Amino acid sequence: MTELILKALCRLSGNEEAQILNYLKTSGLRIGILINFGSHGKLEWKRYVRELRSPS
């Protein structure tokens, strides 16, 4: 599964990145996509992949 977050902001900030990384960590999901439709005439998107740590 993938976490998908949609936003409508003038521009993405570090807050949105922190939000998706926290969602991935708490949900146990590995992949997240952040999509912003708020930029005038421009679509912004970023894919996040959380590293899974192997047990030591």
In this predicted structure, what is the pLDDT of residue 16?
92
In this predicted structure, what is the pLDDT of residue 41?
79
Q: Is there a domain that residue 25 lies in? A: yes
In this predicted structure, what is the pLDDT of residue 1?
81
In this predicted structure, what is the pLDDT of residue 11?
83
Measured from the Cβ of residue 33, the count of other Cβ atoms closer than 10 Å reads: 14
Burial of 55 (0-12, 13-18, 19+ CB in 10 A): exposed
In this predicted structure, what is the pLDDT of residue 40?
77
Q: Is there a domain that residue 56 lies in? A: no
Q: Is the dihedral of CA 10, 11, 15, 21 positive or negative?
A: positive
Contacts of 47 (CB under 8 A, 6+ apart): 31, 32, 33
Q: Is the dihedral of CA 41, 38, 27, 53 positive or negative?
A: positive
**Residues 1-56: pLDDT tens digits?**
888 989 998 888 899 999 999 999 999 999 999 999 987 778 889 999 988 777 76
User: Which residue range is the domain that position 21 belongs to?
Assistant: 2-49
Domain count, the chain: 1
